[in-house]
Structure formats: C-alpha cells, structure tokens
Amino acid sequence: MRSFITRGIAAVGAVALLTLGTACGNDREGSTSGGDGAKGFAKNSLVGVALPAKTSENWVLAGDLFTNGLKKAGFKADVQYAGASTTVADQQAQISSMVTKGAKVIVIGATDASQLATQVAQAKDAGATVIAYDRLITNTPDVDYYIAFDNFKVGQLQGQALIDGMKAKKPKGPWNIELFSGSPDDNNSKVFFNGAMDVLKPLIDKGDIVIGSGQDSIKQTAVQGWKAENAQQRMDSLLTSTYHGGKKLDGVLSPNDTLARAIITAVKGAGKPIPVVTGQDSEVESVKSIMAGEQYSTINKDTRKLVAETIEMAKSLQKGDKPKINDTKSYNNGKKVVPSYLLPPVIVTKKNAAEAYANDPKLAPLTK
C-alpha cells in the first residue's frame, strides 16, 4: 500500500501493482469503487479544473489541453491556476467558485495536498465528482478518483538512471551523490523520493553510494515550492561545504527538470565537472541539455495523454458510467484508498530520446 504516511511498505505496493499488471494484462475496466456520477448529468455541464502554480512546463501544457479538450468533448470549461505567491488561498477560492457555478466534475492538481478538505467537502455536498489530477489530495474522504503517472515508478526510474549514468562514467563505486526532493506540500514529493530510495538504498547500505553531505532525509533534501532558486542555493552550499579538496561529486538525484537545470547551473558556476543529474517532465530546455550531454536523464509523462484520460473520466461520469481505473490499493490518502488510474512513465536519456519523443512534434526535432 503506497500510503502517504507509510513509506516503508511503498515497495510492496509497486510489486503488487506490477503483479496485477502482469496477471491481468491491460485490464483497465476492472473493479471500481467510490465516486458519484452514477446518474450522469447534462452533456454541456461545467467541468472545473483547478491547477497549481506553473512550477513546471507540464502544468502550462495541461491548462490549454484542458480548455480545448473539454470544449471539444461538449463541456463548458473553467480552468484556473493558483497564483504564484498565495497559491493555497487562491486555489481554495477557485474550487469554491467552481462549486458555486455548479460544476459537475472538479479536477484538481493540488497546490497543497493537505489544505483542500473543506473545498472538496463542499464539492461533494453539491453533488460534484472530485478527481485528483497528478497530485493526490490527502486527509479527506471526499476525493473520488486519482489520475496520474505512476509516481513511485517515476522515482524508481530516476534512482536507476542515476546508478546507470554513474556506472557508465566510472564502472565501480564508491560514488559520491547528493539527493534533492520536491516541495513538501506536494504529496508526489515523498512518493518520488521513496521510489528512488527503493533503488538507491541497497547500494548506500553496501557503501557503493555515499551521500557526501550526509543529508539523506526528505526534510533535509526538500525544495520548497519546487523553485529553481531554492535548489540552486542548496546546491551552492553543498558544493562549498562538501565538495572541496579534490572530493568529486558523481551524481545528483533531482526530482524534476526545473531543479536539474538549477543544480547544473550551480555546479557550472562553481567551475566543477557536471555530475550525472536526473530529472522529470521532458521540458524543452532539459531535452536540449540531455542532447548536449549535460543533464543525464528525464522522464516522459506525456501530458497530452494524462489530460485526454482525465477528459475520458469526465465523459464516463457524464454518461452515468463508472470511469476506468486500474489501481485500487496504492494511494491511501490517510482517510481512504482512492481508486486510481495510473499511466506508465518512461525514462529518457540521450540514447532513447529520438524513440521516446517520436510522436511529440515539439520534442522530436530536438533529438535529430
């Protein structure tokens, strides 16, 4: 069970998920639970989409895709972003306003996982279905569905890429690394971190991987607000405190591309060789950096697919059908296990970039 509280048994959840995938093939229609919408609603109803601040390119893309896709599907769309500074209050007000306007489905990319219980309760009382998008909403029984890329798998892929990249440069350890994790208010941050540690921990325990600074907890490694400047500052001070006198930094676990580029900027600024740095999101600048041999890896989580599947969920609810889900155990939000639809993330390095982005008109030309 990949509970947001129980980090220790997260790996079991991943195994269970894998087993489920193997045993049932692509059984996406399977069992389901929770969620309203059994009665359906009028075709041209309002669907609200409350997104967090634009902390990475995926969120920017999602806004336009939702606006256009929902209209194309016959819905009215109200797509809002939380502001850059007062994100929590902004998002709370936006969700309440969607409820007042009579939205039948409210899709939420939470800016702070634990601060939306009142608003989603309002939504439920008004008869709307609540879908947590990309980020889980915690500590409330009022989330009906969760749709995301498999976040634990994202972390595992990042951990493995870090090892592979370091091995390619220096076949045998010990390798010196540093760890970065995402914003503490985003539930995904722990899931990514736990996934990565699931792969890195055995090598750390053996002494093959050494965390130079000794900072190995999610608290010590967190980057508030997913902000590039916070990551750059932390990397600057790690370089000063730990990597002097010939001590080499071999790798950095970065949870996403924005932070990866900030980490690389700090290393370059200090005049040091660029270590193996992981990422996530397939941002344009990071794909360029990978092709130029700087950033080592990213993750492809095709936002077009995630938005399309979310709109499919809204369409099912409109018809009074139960939406497709493929996971009923991994995401415990502290109050319930939220029925989920998880998509598979793909690791991308310079080696497979052309293949990975072949169907992406924006990224494919960068890999030529």
Are 58 and 281 within 8 A, CB to CB? yes
Pick the piece of the chain touching ligand BGC (CB under 6 A) from 3-11, 50-58, 193-201, 352-360.
50-58
Q: What is the largest CA-CA distance in the chain?
A: 68
Answer yes or no whether residue 256 interacts with ligand BGC by CB under 6 A: yes
DSSP three-state, residue 101: coil
Of the pair 4, 226, the CB lying nearest ligand BGC is at 226
Are 262 and 282 within 8 A, CB to CB? no
Q: Which of residues 58-117 bind ligand BGC (CB under 6 A)?
A: 58-59
Instruction: List the one residue from 111, 115, 158, 188 that touches ligand BGC (CB under 6 A).
Output: 188
Residue 130 beta carbon to ligand BGC: minimum distance, rounded to whole angstroms: 17
Q: Which parts of 101-150 fold into alpha helices (H)?
A: 117-125
Answer yes or no whether residue 226 interacts with ligand BGC by CB under 6 A: yes
Residue 16 beta carbon to ligand BGC: minimum distance, rounded to whole angstroms: 22
Are 188 and 226 within 8 A, CB to CB? no
Q: How far apart, in whole angstroms, are the C-alpha atoms of residue 281 and residue 61? A: 11
- Residues in CB range of 198: below 8 A, 6 or more apart: 10, 11, 14, 152, 155, 156, 159
Pick the piece of the chain touching ligand BGC (CB under 6 A) from 54-62, 260-268, 323-331, 338-346.
54-62
Closest alpha carbon to 213 in 180, 262, 166: 180
Q: Which of residues 293-322 bind ligand BGC (CB under 6 A)?
A: none
Of the pair 51, 239, the CB lying nearest ligand BGC is at 51
Question: 51 — phi, psi (to 5°)?
Answer: -105, 155
Binding residues with ligand BGC: total (CB under 6 A): 13
Instruction: List the one residue from 45, 55, 140, 232 that touches ligand BGC (CB under 6 A).
Output: 55
Q: How far apart, in whole angstroms, are the C-alpha atoms of residue 159 and residue 361? A: 28
Residue 98 beta carbon to ligand BGC: minimum distance, rounded to whole angstroms: 21
Instruction: List the one residue from 135, 153, 315, 322 that touches ligand BGC (CB under 6 A).
Output: 135
Of the pair 134, 250, the CB lying nearest ligand BGC is at 134
Answer yes or no whether residue 153 interacts with ligand BGC by CB under 6 A: no
Closest alpha carbon to 304 in 75, 63, 53: 63
Residue 141 beta carbon to ligand BGC: minimum distance, rounded to whole angstroms: 22
Of the pair 14, 99, the CB lying nearest ligand BGC is at 14
Of the pair 134, 178, the CB lying nearest ligand BGC is at 134
DSSP three-state, residue 363: coil
Question: 340 — phi, psi (to 5°)?
Answer: -125, 155
Query: Tokens 């093939």 map to which residue?
Result: 25
Instruction: List the one residue from 112, 150, 178, 186 that touches ligand BGC (CB under 6 A).
Output: 186
Residue 93 beta carbon to ligand BGC: minimum distance, rounded to whole angstroms: 21
Q: Which parts of the chain fold into alpha helices (H)?
A: 10-24, 57-72, 87-100, 117-125, 151-169, 187-206, 218-221, 228-242, 257-269, 284-291, 303-319, 353-356
Pick the piece of the chain touching ligand BGC (CB under 6 A) from 181-189, 243-251, 332-340, 355-363.
181-189
Residue 186 beta carbon to ligand BGC: minimum distance, rounded to whole angstroms: 5
Pick the piece of the chain touching ligand BGC (CB under 6 A) from 55-63, 161-169, 312-320, 321-329.
55-63
Instruction: List the one residue from 112, 281, 302, 327 that touches ligand BGC (CB under 6 A).
Output: 281
Quickly list DSSP for 182-223.
--TTSHHHHHHHHHHHHHHHHHHHHTSEEETT---SHHHHB-
Residue 134 beta carbon to ligand BGC: minimum distance, rounded to whole angstroms: 5
Site for ligand BGC, rule CB under 6 A: 55-56, 58-59, 134-135, 182, 186, 188, 226, 256, 280-281
